Structure 1
Amino acid sequence: MSLQSGLPTPPAHEGELCELGSDVNFKTAHNACRSEGQYGLRYERKMGNTELSYYLPSRQTGVNDMYLHLGFKAPERYVQRSRVRAVWAILRLRHPLLSAHVEMHEYDDVRFIYTAPSSPRDLFEDADNNLEYRTQDKDELIDSYLNGPRTLSNSRLSYVVVSEPGEAKSAVPTPPRTPSPSRSSVDAGLIHESETPTEIEREYELLICAMHFLGDGMALHQFANDFFGLLGCDMDDADLEAMLEAEWRDRWQNISTDASVLPRSLEEYMPLSDGRFRRTAAKVDFQLSQERLVGGQVFPRQKHPERRTIVPTVSFPEDRTKAILKKCKANGVSISAALFAICDVAWARMGGPKELPVLMYSALNLRPYFTVKPPSPWNSYWYLAIGYFNIVLPSFLPAADKVESVFWHRARQAKDQSTRAAKSPLVASRTHVMAEERGERARGWAKEDDEKEQGTWKPPVYSSSASPPKEPILPARPKAPSAALMGLSLLGNLDGIYKHATFPSVRLHTLTTGSRQRHGAMLLFGYTFQGKLWISLGYDCNGYPDGFVDKFWKECLAAVDVFLG
């Protein structure tokens, strides 16, 4: 079905040795390798299938490269490059995948490579090389990331941009890149810039960029909260640099050879028994669950040589948001469930075919299902931990006098389906089977894409002498259509993640998130932030007939007005 382009995938095998060369000694630890390299300790591990399913499609144009934009106000001393650089360095130390790079050997052998920092100075310079100051406004910043040249690469898995837009941009010039410090300056402490900034509060934009195979939305938002917690804390720059050095010593001065430095893959955090019966039962259950997914509603698409993603966004005032949440609660649903019904009603009002239902998909946070816990201090939250679930709703509307009651009934249907997906005892096994399918499919597509680019691809030739296909697990049944209309990323109440009171001098006011998309992609986001409900629709405006998605978006907002108040 259509949603397969975003689904999960398995781990590299426990204890598998890494090929580092015949003259290199190494140890294996939790599927990661450690070796003595020219520049320090080197750790590596193979990607699991879930990570591969995101990495392989991203190689050329950066499909799925994530971003998180936050608009905020702060005194300029909190946003000086020296301070941002120190905060960024501390967090890159705590989360090694942010500083790793990727090496691809085969389609099923892609590896994270992490070289341990030999000193705090290494961390400081690494952070500086992955930090940029600009003078773009929010829209320019997001557009350049989504539609311009790719920001990230195999050697740059994460990046931070700080921008000061508007008239004030000329008042605070971008500080130059840090020169390589001398040994004496490092021994005396990390670099301090000579400016003494004023307490004038200014408007800033922050863009946090990260590959999707590094982690998911929950990791991104937790990271942003930690970022502002350090940026807006009472410590001065020297204190932050001292923290960096202390944390580096705790992690690296007495590192053991079997330390689990790199986070494991999703599948290793929720392992399954290798029993043959268990694996067969998991595949039967997965196939049955997939056959229950019926959907036949799709947006009309058009081919266009250029992809252009836009993200129309609306926010609702706090008083109206409270009223909306209160109305949802009175009808026994969350705002997330209501948004499924909003999209369903909006689509029905577009006048599509009524014979088949509407299928939508969304992400499921898998962290609560993990049975393996990483040891401190290597307990980074930067790893992929998402699965997917589906919502199926009718595609027609009843008589006008019954529409509101039917709307809330469908919202409750969405809630019930979401709850069953989250509470199913088979979440782990379904994730593993789906991961295997996703990984196999991603490898096949990647190989075909590469061969087409090189001019060597040939259509497969099926010979009558070839071995017969494997007998299906279940008896053959007529296959129902399972096309998905769209995906919804429902992030919930982000004010439960952002501890605004811990950084009172930095006032966050705007949040937008998403990723670089493939041609014809669409994803609706819904969340509450700073007490406001936010809804945004990220889509490729060149991938659909003119005005069609605009009309759908207007129908969505009209349905919010009518049903949510």
Structure 2
Amino acid sequence: MDSSLPVPLDASCTVSDEHSEVKPQGSYRSSLKDTWKVERPLGNSELSYFLPSRASGVNDMYLHLGFVAPEHVVRRERVLMVWAILRIRHPLLASNVVMQGYDDVKFVFTPPQSPGDALVNADCNLEYRTSTKDELIDSYLNGARTLSNDRLSYLIVSQGGTSLPSPPITPRSISPFNECESPSYNHDRDGMALHQLANDLFGLLGGDKTIAELEAQLKEELSSRWDADSTRTAVLPNALEDNFTVSPSKLRNAAEKVDFQLSQRRLVGGHSFRRQTKQPRHTIVPTVSFDPERTKSILKRCKTHGVSVSAAIFAACNIAWAKMCSEKQDLSMMMYSALNLRPYFTVKPANDSYWFLAIGYFNVILPTFIPRSIDLSSVFWHRARVAKEQSTQAAKNRMIVSRSLLMAEERGQRARLWAKEDDEKERGTFVPPPPSSVPAADTALRTPSAALIGLSLLGNLDGIYKHGTFPAIKLHTLTTGSRQRSGGMLLFGYTFAGKLWVSLGYDVNGFDKVMVEQFWEHMLQTMDDLLLK
């Protein structure tokens, strides 16, 4: 059986209120009793993603995985049991979001009272379809929103509907699919938890446990984690901000704010794609994969030059833009990416779930011009090493935690302000703020800080997917991203199933189409010329 399995970050199920009968597709029955609940407020980082999502699902994550497996592995009963186990382990997946105000937003989790309850809940958030990969992802990203405050996760299994890449027309293999979406511009998400979850899902599906044994595991995990009579404290995973020890020193806090402000002033970028907003948002994502042999060659060449593939992709973006840039070459080109903050935690986790948000951001700034007197290959590898150095400095900076927390606070404040404005505009009560009192001369002197593009560089995903632990299942394609706002753009790079994949997700109606296509072609040509030769 050839199946595709997208995992968005709720198929039909009828629920009128929290005390009414749930009508599942399967034969499992809910106990229908009101139960105890566990809740916590959303942190600043979480709010910065949640508040913009309310209208049209901006930031809603997804993961699509194409695979081949025996029919019995993906029977609904087995998938349902595994999905229920994972939703018990990771309660935020099965939580609701309750909003009373811009400063009062909570995750609320109602633990199942029985395995039957857990299966009913999982069944309401599981759907089987017969659709191609293209249709599945395009529907999720450009169609009506799938997720909501009451539906934070949803699993779709589509049997016999996977589109495999077309035969290669160049040394690269180019996927015909071009209708999927990636994380929105200025917003990236913690995708590593999503990939770990998918690995755990396939590990359970492709393992040797019978349905009866999986049901016994569900009972055990439910009783050990969420038994109301347990002496163990049942809590949700911490918000990002609660995973660090906060200094009580006012002097230290003041110094951290000054450091943050100075670090922000050093972010110099004077380049961006020309924008247009004539039509509604429609995101596409041209995707290229390099076969295993060429991937090995690229990895070897990067190692020879002392850089990672991620650093090389930063440099490829830089060279691609520099080739087509004829203006403002004296200004730097800035790109941004996400940084995993989990290694910096100083507070013991409140829950053993890995499913929570834990990212910060860093920037890579490179020159825009290409010196004529220096060989292009030398320029490329030098800039790759500079990108590596800047990435390493960001990760090892002793102020990384304070900078990330202050950035999260700033993003949270902006999200609250914009959410309030959006709601007032919806109600027709919005009053624009008075014009800025900053003198025009001061405005003109400000250093430009535009980012050309965001990069989500996921690294070697084959290190997360333990293919050998589910030998009955063969994974062959992976696409990931999220619904985005108008004018969104993000470039993905990762290794999966032995191949290097690069994709450019962007709102085709939000940018100058010719300019973006030219950049993408220069990007791929740079990789061919400098990474493969």
For residue 555 of structure 1, the aligned residue among 522, 525, 532 is: 522
Q: Is the counterpart of residue 135 in structure 1 residue 130 in structure 2?
A: yes
For residue 229 of structure 1, the aligned residue among 171, 187, 203 is: 203
> CA 1:257 to 1:167, structure 2 compared with 1: closer, same or farther past 3 Å?
closer
User: For each residue in 1:411-434, what CA deviation from the matched residue of structure 2 results, as whole angstroms up to 9, or x when unmatched?
Assistant: 000000000000011111101111
Q: Is the counterpart of residue 399 in structure 1 residue 366 in structure 2?
A: no
Corresponding residue number in structure 2 for 1:242 = 216
- Using the TM superposition, give the Cα deviation of residue 547 of structure 1 relative to its aligned residue in structure 2, in angstroms: 2.3
Judge which range, 515-524 or 254-263, deviates more: 254-263
Secondary structure of the structure 2 residue equivalent to 1:286? helix
> For the residues of structure 1 that align with 2:363 and 2:444, how far apart are their CA atoms?
21
> For the residues of structure 1 that align with 2:188 and 2:434, how far apart are their CA atoms?
37
- Using the TM superposition, give the Cα deviation of residue 462 of structure 1 relative to its aligned residue in structure 2, in angstroms: 7.6
Corresponding residue number in structure 1 for 2:381 = 408
Q: Is the counterpart of residue 305 in structure 1 residue 279 in structure 2?
A: yes
Q: Is the 8 A contact 2:336 2:364 kept in 1?
A: yes
Q: Structure 1: any 5+ residue segments left out of the alignment?
A: 1-36, 169-206, 470-474
Q: Is the counterpart of residue 450 in structure 1 residue 389 in structure 2?
A: no
Please list every run of at least 4 consecutive aligned residues from structure 1 whose deviation after the TM superposition is greater than 4 angstroms. 209-215, 254-258, 461-464, 475-478
> For the residues of structure 2 that align with 1:50 and 1:114, how far apart are their CA atoms?
20
Corresponding residue number in structure 2 for 1:201 = none
Judge which range, 535-544 or 214-223, deviates more: 214-223
> For the residues of structure 1 that align with 2:527 and 2:156, how far apart are their CA atoms?
34
Matches within 5 A, 1:423-434: 423-434=396-407
Q: Is the 8 A contact 2:491 2:503 kept in 1?
A: yes
User: For each residue in 1:468-500, what CA deviation from the matched residue of structure 2 results, as whole angstroms up to 9, or x when unmatched?
Assistant: x9xxxxx99942100000000000011110000
Question: Counterpart of 1:76 in structure 2: which amino acid?
Answer: E
Q: Is the 8 A contact 1:52 1:213 kept in 2?
A: no
Corresponding residue number in structure 1 for 2:446 = 479
> CA 1:463 to 1:364, structure 2 compared with 1: closer, same or farther past 3 Å?
closer
Matches within 5 A, 1:58-207: 58-166=53-161
Secondary structure of the structure 1 residue equivalent to 2:398? coil
> For the residues of structure 1 that align with 2:436 and 2:411, how far apart are their CA atoms?
26
Matches within 5 A, 1:326-337: 326-337=300-311
What is the TM-score of this pair, normalised by structure 2?
0.86
- Using the TM superposition, give the Cα deviation of residue 274 of structure 1 relative to its aligned residue in structure 2, in angstroms: 2.8
> For the residues of structure 1 that align with 2:284 and 2:436, how far apart are their CA atoms?
46
> For the residues of structure 2 that align with 1:99 and 1:463, how far apart are their CA atoms?
44
> For the residues of structure 1 that align with 2:65 and 2:298, how far apart are their CA atoms?
24
Secondary structure of the structure 1 residue equivalent to 2:526? helix
> For the residues of structure 2 that align with 1:519 and 1:463, how far apart are their CA atoms?
26
Secondary structure of the structure 2 residue equivalent to 1:398? coil
> For the residues of structure 2 that align with 1:255 and 1:123, how far apart are their CA atoms?
17
Corresponding residue number in structure 2 for 1:518 = 485
Q: Structure 2: any 5+ residue segments left out of the alignment?
A: 1-31, 164-179
Q: Is the 8 A contact 2:133 2:162 kept in 1?
A: no
- Using the TM superposition, give the Cα deviation of residue 258 of structure 1 relative to its aligned residue in structure 2, in angstroms: 7.0
> For the residues of structure 2 that align with 1:167 and 1:533, how far apart are their CA atoms?
20
For residue 374 of structure 1, the aligned residue among 327, 344, 349 is: 349
Q: Is the 8 A contact 1:260 1:374 kept in 2?
A: no
> For the residues of structure 2 that align with 1:525 and 1:230, how far apart are their CA atoms?
28
Judge which range, 393-402 or 68-77, deviates more: 393-402
Secondary structure of the structure 1 residue equivalent to 2:207? coil
Question: Counterpart of 1:105 in structure 2: which amino acid?
Answer: Q
What is the TM-score of this pair, normalised by structure 1?
0.81
Corresponding residue number in structure 2 for 1:194 = none
Q: Is the 8 A contact 1:93 1:248 kept in 2?
A: yes
- Using the TM superposition, give the Cα deviation of residue 144 of structure 1 relative to its aligned residue in structure 2, in angstroms: 0.6
Q: Is the 8 A contact 1:309 1:538 kept in 2?
A: yes
Q: Is the 8 A contact 1:103 1:154 kept in 2?
A: yes
Q: Is the 8 A contact 2:203 2:470 kept in 1?
A: yes
Secondary structure of the structure 2 residue equivalent to 1:391? strand
> For the residues of structure 1 that align with 2:325 and 2:51, how far apart are their CA atoms?
37
> CA 1:255 to 1:365, structure 2 compared with 1: closer, same or farther past 3 Å?
farther
Q: Is the counterpart of residue 43 in structure 1 residue 18 in structure 2?
A: no
Question: Counterpart of 1:42 in structure 2: which amino acid?
Answer: K
User: For each residue in 1:274-321, what CA deviation from the matched residue of structure 2 results, as whole angstroms up to 9, or x when unmatched?
Assistant: 321111111000011111110001000001331001111111111110
- Using the TM superposition, give the Cα deviation of residue 535 of structure 1 relative to its aligned residue in structure 2, in angstroms: 0.4
Question: Counterpart of 1:453 in structure 2: which amino acid?
Answer: E
> For the residues of structure 2 that align with 1:462 and 1:447, how far apart are their CA atoms?
19
Question: Counterpart of 1:296 in structure 2: which amino acid?
Answer: G
User: For each residue in 1:398-445, what CA deviation from the matched residue of structure 2 results, as whole angstroms up to 9, or x when unmatched?
Assistant: 227511101100000000000000001111110111111111111001
- Using the TM superposition, give the Cα deviation of residue 458 of structure 1 relative to its aligned residue in structure 2, in angstroms: 0.6
- Using the TM superposition, give the Cα deviation of residue 463 of structure 1 relative to its aligned residue in structure 2, in angstroms: 12
Q: Is the 8 A contact 1:215 1:382 kept in 2?
A: no
Judge which range, 402-411 or 242-251, deviates more: 242-251
Q: Is the counterpart of residue 545 in structure 1 residue 518 in structure 2?
A: no
> For the residues of structure 2 that align with 1:235 and 1:257, how far apart are their CA atoms?
30
Q: Is the 8 A contact 2:36 2:228 kept in 1?
A: no
Question: Counterpart of 2:515 in structure 1: which amino acid?
Answer: F
For residue 321 of structure 2, the aligned residue among 347, 360, 363 is: 347
> For the residues of structure 2 that align with 1:370 and 1:341, how far apart are their CA atoms?
31
The alignment's C-alpha RMSD in Å is 2.5
Identity of aligned residues (%): 62
User: For each residue in 1:514-537, what CA deviation from the matched residue of structure 2 results, as whole angstroms up to 9, or x when unmatched?
Assistant: 110110110000000111100011
Question: Counterpart of 1:280 in structure 2: which amino acid?
Answer: A
Secondary structure of the structure 2 residue equivalent to 1:514? strand
Judge which range, 288-297 or 399-408, deviates more: 399-408
Corresponding residue number in structure 2 for 1:316 = 290
Judge which range, 346-355 or 284-293, deviates more: 346-355
Q: Is the 8 A contact 2:59 2:183 kept in 1?
A: no
